[in-house]
Amino acid sequence: MKKFMYAFLLLVLLGGAFLTGSWYSRREVPRTNSSVVKSTAVNPAERPDTNTDTGTGISSMPPGTVRITPEKQQVIGVKTGVVGKAAVGHFIRTVGRVAPDEKRVYRLVAGADGWIRETYNNDTGTLVRKDERLASFYSPLFRAAQLAYISLLGSSQEDRFHAGGRQALAPSQLASVNLQTYIDALESLGMSQQQINELASTRQITDKVFILAPTTGFIIARNVSPGQRFDKGTEWYRIADLSRVWVLADLFRNEAGSVRPGMKVGVTIPETKKTLTAFVSTVLPQFDATSRTLKVRLELDNPGYTLKPDMFVDVEIPITLPPAITAPTDAVLDSGLRKTVFVDRGNGFFEPRDVETGWRFGNRVEITKGLKPGERIVVSGTFLVDSESRLEVAAAGMTETLSKDPVCGVDVSMTKAAKAGLKTNHEGKTYYFDSVQCKQQFEKDPKRYAEKP
């Protein structure tokens, strides 16, 4: 009996506890709901999309404007920067090829048919000194020319006419005119002035005429060998004075326009890291059809003959551009038809803005239209902001009507495009656009973009 009473009391106590807890929970529900509503309430001015056209909501901004919270900006790596207008300094870096100065290249050419008698210790690439003997040759025409020259020297005019004397006698005197004629004949056949002086001194005919170096330089071409027969006009040697050389640098057309004659340019030898100073030549750049570039000529001294023909060097040209509005290249999205940047409108709003660009050097690009100094734009994470903008447009299509831009081919909100004035009528039909440029292009030729019935 006692066990039955204990069980009954236990059931009563459990039932009372259950009823008490149920009453208490019903009493606390309104308080809890009130707290939740209060903590999740959002100020209408801070909502991503408001129906009031107060200028603070996204509905009053151009189509594609997106709001990204500061926490999300930090996650996706969005960084902004202020647009300014200033002069831009830049370096054009390219590769150049060393070439001999054409004014310092000498070609030794045969003046008559003959044979090579001897060659001396000189090969292609050898440094030779001025008047150094390179080789000797023989030509049958030399014997008659030497005899005539010596016979005139035996006249009474000899003591007054120095060997090879070009200014010894007046041109009006016949003897000196005849003598000068034979001197010119010997020189045209290939005899040097030094050997003509020896002939006048010794009065002995020689069958060995020496080929002398006209200047101190390097042999860059050699076409002689002992016993070789040659014809008139054959090139024996080609000698280049490399104390001053050219560097031919390849530049694109937009880069070549910034290069001016007389500019100082740095030329660096990659192997030794030695840097020399060159100057831009006054000769206009020449277009290379193979590489589709312009070849700019640089001139510089070559101490110690460090630079050799056909050697490649690094060229660095300093460029200072006039003041302009610039932005990082990563800030501009180029789709081919339009170029877009995202402008920070504050409170997490980012507006897509169509811009026009000019020159581009390194990681900077000139903004010629669309931005003003002082505006803040997205400089990092632009692609992610663009994705958010596209998602915003796509989400708008679930709650409002979208229209296809006939020019840019993207979906735009009809409501936002109408508020921004990006719509036009043609033949009784309304067309909506994503940007001012797309609208202007449509209005230039509406029949091209208008949908056919």
Query: What pLDDT shows up at residue 173?
Result: 54
Residue among 277, 280, 275, 309 nearest 294 (CA): 280
Residue among 438, 442, 441 nearest 425 (CA): 442
Query: What pLDDT shows up at residue 279?
Result: 95
Q: What angle do CA 256, 259, 261 make, to 5 degrees?
A: 125
Q: What angle do CA 204, 209, 213 make, to 5 degrees?
A: 130
Crossing angle between the packed helical segments 193-202 and 141-153, to the nearest 10 degrees? 60
Query: What pLDDT shows up at residue 63?
Result: 66
Question: Strand pairing partners for 276?
Answer: 267
pLDDT at 159 over 50: no
Instruction: Assess contact for 321 and 258: CB atoms under 8 A.
Output: yes
pLDDT at 52 over 80: no
**What is the model's pTM?**
0.55
Question: How confident is the model over 135-156, as a mean pLDDT?
Answer: 81
Q: Which amino acid does the sequence have at 265?
A: V
pLDDT digits (tens, 9 = 90+) for 305-324: 999 999 999 999 988 777 88
Residue 206's CB is within 10 A of a number of other CB atoms, namely 16
**Could you give the 3-state DSSP secondary structure of residue 330?**
helix
Nearest-angstrom CA–CA distance, 88 and 325: 10
Nearest-angstrom CA–CA distance, 100 and 244: 8
Among 33-37, 218-222, 293-297, 352-356, the range scoring the smallest mean pLDDT is: 33-37
pLDDT digits (tens, 9 = 90+) for 354-390: 888 887 777 788 888 888 888 888 888 887 887 777 6
Query: What pLDDT shows up at residue 172?
Result: 44
pLDDT at 183 over 50: yes
Question: How confident is the model over 288-293, as a mean pLDDT?
Answer: 81
Q: Which amino acid does the sequence have at 174?
A: L
Q: 2 burial class (0-12, 13-18, 19+ CB within 10 angstroms)? A: exposed
pLDDT at 51 over 50: no
pLDDT at 176 over 70: no
Query: What pLDDT shows up at residue 50?
Result: 36
Does residue 218 or residue 36 have the better pLDDT?
Answer: 218
Question: How confident is the model over 325-329, as a mean pLDDT?
Answer: 84
Nearest-angstrom CA–CA distance, 450 and 407: 9
pLDDT at 175 over 70: no
Mean predicted lDDT score pLDDT of the chain: 78
| DSSP H stretches of helix in 231-286 | 253-256
Query: Could you identify the residue written with the tokens 């915003």?
Result: 392
Q: Give me the half-sphere count of Cα atoms (radius 13 Å) on the Cβ side of residue 314.
A: 11
For residue 389, the Cα-to-chain-centroid distance in whole angstroms is: 33
Confidence of residue 345 (pLDDT cuts 50, 70, 90): confident
Question: Strand pairing partners for 92?
Answer: 317
**DSSP for residue 249:** E
pLDDT digits (tens, 9 = 90+) for 387-442: 777 666 555 554 456 778 888 877 777 877 887 788 888 888 888 888 888 888 88
pLDDT digits (tens, 9 = 90+) for 214-271: 999 999 999 999 999 999 999 999 999 999 999 999 888 777 777 888 999 999 999 8
Among 16-25, 184-193, 359-368, the range scoring the smallest mean pLDDT is: 16-25
Instruction: Assess contact for 196 and 163: CB atoms under 8 A.
Output: yes
Crossing angle between the packed helical segments 141-153 and 174-189, to the nearest 10 degrees? 150
Residue among 381, 383, 389, 390 nearest 78 (CA): 381
Nearest-angstrom CA–CA distance, 286 and 448: 42
pLDDT at 105 over 50: yes
Among 85-99, 164-178, 430-444, the range scoring the smallest mean pLDDT is: 164-178
| Percentage of the chain exceeding pLDDT 90 | 25
Instruction: Assess contact for 97 and 315: CB atoms under 8 A.
Output: no
| DSSP H stretches of helix in 237-310 | 253-256
**DSSP for residue 344:** E
| DSSP H stretches of helix in 128-214 | 141-153, 174-189, 193-202
Q: What does the block give as tokens for 395?
A: 């989400």
Query: What pLDDT shows up at residue 447?
Result: 82
Query: What pLDDT shows up at residue 133?
Result: 92
* H-helix or E-strand spanning residue 105: strand 105-109
pLDDT at 87 over 90: no
Q: What does the block give as tokens for 353?
A: 């803005």
Question: How confident is the model over 94-99, as a mean pLDDT?
Answer: 93
Q: What does the block give as tokens for 328?
A: 């990082």
Does residue 14 or residue 68 have the better pLDDT?
Answer: 68
* C-alpha distances in Å from residue 284, one per residue of 134, 288, 315, 421: 37, 13, 18, 50
Nearest-angstrom CA–CA distance, 416 and 432: 10
Instruction: Assess contact for 198 and 209: CB atoms under 8 A.
Output: no
